[in-house]
Amino acid sequence: MLNFSNTNILLGVTGGIAAYKSAEIIRLFKKEGASVRVVMTESAKEFITPLTLQAVSGNEIHDSLLDVNAESAMGHIELAKWADIILIAPCTAETIAKITHGRADDLMGALILASEADVYIAPAMNMSMWLDASTQDNYKILEKRGITFIGPAQGEQACGDIGPGRLEEPEKIIEFITKLANKGPLSGKTITITAGPTREQIDPVRFISNNSSGKMGYSIAEAAIKYGAQVNLVTGPVSLDADKSINLHKINSASEMLDEVIKCMKSSDIFIGCAAVSDYKPSDYSIKKIKKEDNSSLDIELEKNEDILKYVSDNFSESYIVGFAAETSDVIENAKKKLLTKNLDMIISNDISDKSIGFDADENEVNVITKDETLLLKKDKKIRIARQILKIISANINK
Ligand code: C5P
């Protein structure tokens, strides 16, 4: 199999002397089976012609955010969704700064904001510009957000200076991305993830449940597949589609979830409890629908469900165990308590009193808490938060 078969690569080319190397980058990706589309900034066109990159990629060049014709052919959101991987090579200090500030005044900036693809940046600039505090700060911020930098390489620069700032060689860029994309940081690992709500039936039509769209758990499962893991997703009823490579275990109740989790954990290295498990279930299930005409009020006796996360930490302690804590006050303090009482390796807390994050939202902002540190992952799309969480987990298990 080719390294990048079925992979859509969006190559961003910005204005630097090394832009001429982008043709070779496209050629190498295509040789490995990728489909390549190219976005050029205006200044990139001063260094290499759009016609050259169009001929090598076999696709029309994208260069405008506000062009009606371009938008009708493939709109910027469509293009952002099309990409599995975005590589900006060469990437100038200006584009690095633009991405750091989330600016969208040209196509490249807008695409980065709109896309959920893995983003790689291969910088190329004068060494003093690279080493300047602003660029270095921007670089560190972007790395924290999960963007991967390739280079810059050391050596002689176009201006004669010698130091870091050269575009990494095309072969090395492809080799680097191949290693990360095809042998992710979690390759060889099996992860079991719980997601969504559970339903505790009262009678055939009524149930007790929790608020949960399942988006966070599904995003983690999707990101884990991309990072090379085998993924079991034990999910309550949600209206989401899962990646074909995920082993999906659909359940309704907490006790069904526990049964599936136990089966999966026999061969798992990591457990991530993301589900909003119902803490209680009705003690008795009525086979017949309870008629409201027969009852002016209704008492339902509830009994506690097993805490699945605690069960896993008690019985599969050799695995790396991660819980979630949805809190409305003293978010970090309460989560830290749970980390200890449930004996977890990591807990991820979020503040569900903020309606723009959590449950049904597409974005989240979380604190990743271990015994040693508390790390804030600022508000971002759930898929990006998922990738950052997995990067931290993989760094911790490889410590
Ligand atoms: O104690 P609390 O329910 O707030 O803890 C939340 C964490 O515990 C989440 O990771 C959730 O998936 C997990 N949990 C569980 N089984 C339960 C209740 C919560 O696995 N019965």
Greatest mean pLDDT range, 5-9, 180-184, 333-337: 333-337
Does residue 310 have a pLDDT over 50? yes
Work out which ligand 1 atom sits closest to the CA atom of 347. Answer: 10
pLDDT tens digits for range 45-62: 999 999 999 999 999 999
User: Atom 21 (ligand 1): residue with closest C-alpha?
Assistant: 307
Average pLDDT in the chain: 93
* pLDDT for position 224: 92
pLDDT tens digits for range 252-301: 999 999 999 999 999 999 999 999 999 999 999 999 999 988 888 999 99
Percentage above 90 pLDDT, the chain: 76
Residues contacting 124, CB < 8 A, separation 6+: 16, 17, 18, 89, 90, 91, 92, 151, 152, 165, 166, 167
User: Atom 2 (ligand 1): residue with closest C-alpha?
Assistant: 325
- Pinpoint the alpha helices (H) of 168-294: 170-182, 215-226, 254-265
Rounded Cα gap, residues 101 and 390, in angstroms = 24
Q: 190-397: which CATH topology?
A: Rossmann fold (3.40.50)
Active site residues: 159
Are domains 8-181 and 190-397 of this chain identical in fold? Answer: yes
pLDDT tens digits for range 365-383: 999 999 999 999 988 889 8
Count CA within 13 A, CB hemisphere, residue 179.
7
3-class secondary structure, 355: coil
> Residue 43 Cα, ligand 1 centroid: separation in angstroms?
52
Residues contacting 248, CB < 8 A, separation 6+: 233, 235, 242
pLDDT tens digits for range 97-151: 999 999 999 999 999 999 988 899 999 999 999 999 999 999 999 999 989 999 9
* pLDDT for position 132: 98
> Residue 209 Cα, ligand 1 centroid: separation in angstroms?
13
* pLDDT for position 133: 98
For residue 363, the surrounding DSSP H or E stretch is strand 363-369
User: Atom 17 (ligand 1): residue with closest C-alpha?
Assistant: 307
Confidence at 181, pLDDT banded by 50, 70, 90: confident
Work out which ligand 1 atom sits closest to the CA atom of 306. Answer: 21
Is residue 55 within 8 A of residue 78, CB to CB? The reply is: no
Does residue 37 have a pLDDT over 50? yes
* pLDDT for position 171: 97
pLDDT tens digits for range 190-213: 999 999 999 999 999 999 999 999
Ligand 1 is surrounded, with C-beta below 6 A, by 194, 254, 273-275, 277, 279, 305, 307-309, 323-325, 338
Does residue 362 have a pLDDT over 90? no
Rounded Cα gap, residues 113 and 167, in angstroms = 24
Confidence at 183, pLDDT banded by 50, 70, 90: low
Hey, which of 198, 271, 309, 310 would you mutate to test ligand 1's pocket, going by the most ligand atoms within 8 Å of its Cβ?
309
- The vertex-146 CA angle with 142 and 150, nearest 5°, equals 70
Hey, which of 192, 198, 277 would you mutate to test ligand 1's pocket, going by the most ligand atoms within 8 Å of its Cβ?
277
Work out which ligand 1 atom sits closest to the CA atom of 194. Answer: 12
Work out which ligand 1 atom sits closest to the CA atom of 309. Answer: 20
Tell me the residue ranges of DSSP E strands in 31-184. 35-40, 85-91, 118-123, 148-149, 153-156, 162-166
* pLDDT for position 358: 66
pTM of the model: 0.66
Count CA within 13 A, CB hemisphere, residue 13.
31
Residues contacting 218, CB < 8 A, separation 6+: 195, 233, 235, 238, 240, 242
Structure tokens at 398: 């490889």
* pLDDT for position 1: 45
> Residue 278 Cα, ligand 1 centroid: separation in angstroms?
8
> Residue 325 Cα, ligand 1 centroid: separation in angstroms?
7
pLDDT tens digits for range 235-244: 999 999 998 8
Work out which ligand 1 atom sits closest to the CA atom of 324. Answer: 10
* pLDDT for position 283: 97
> Residue 236 Cα, ligand 1 centroid: separation in angstroms?
14
Structure tokens at 239: 């209206």
Is residue 194 within 8 A of residue 261, CB to CB? The reply is: yes
Work out which ligand 1 atom sits closest to the CA atom of 279. Answer: 21
3-class secondary structure, 196: coil
Rounded Cα gap, residues 246 and 224, in angstroms = 9
> Residue 277 Cα, ligand 1 centroid: separation in angstroms?
6
Rg of the chain (C-alpha set): 24
What average pLDDT score do residues 82-98 get?
96
Please name every residue paired with 367 in a beta bridge, in sequence order, or none if there are none.
Answer: 349, 376
User: Atom 6 (ligand 1): residue with closest C-alpha?
Assistant: 325
What average pLDDT score do residues 223-230 get?
89
Hey, which of 233, 308, 329, 330 would you mutate to test ligand 1's pocket, going by the most ligand atoms within 8 Å of its Cβ?
308
What average pLDDT score do residues 327-334 get?
92
* pLDDT for position 2: 61
For residues 10 and 328, which has the higher predicted lDDT (pLDDT)? 10
* pLDDT for position 7: 80
Dump the DSSP string for 65-84. Answer: SS-HHHHHHS-HHHHHHH-S
Please tell me the class of the 8-181 domain: alpha beta
pLDDT tens digits for range 339-352: 999 999 999 998 88
Is residue 229 within 8 A of residue 187, CB to CB? The reply is: yes
58 sits in the region (left: phi over 0; alpha: psi -120 to 50; else beta) called left
Rounded Cα gap, residues 253 and 198, in angstroms = 5
Q: Are strands 85-91 and 8-13 parallel, antiparallel or unpaired?
A: parallel
Does residue 399 have a pLDDT over 90? no
* pLDDT for position 182: 65
> Residue 276 Cα, ligand 1 centroid: separation in angstroms?
7
Please name every residue paired with 194 in a beta bridge, in sequence order, or none if there are none.
Answer: 234, 273
Is residue 272 within 8 A of residue 199, CB to CB? The reply is: no
Percentage above 70 pLDDT, the chain: 97
Query: Domain spans of the chain?
Result: 8-181, 190-397
> Residue 360 Cα, ligand 1 centroid: separation in angstroms?
18
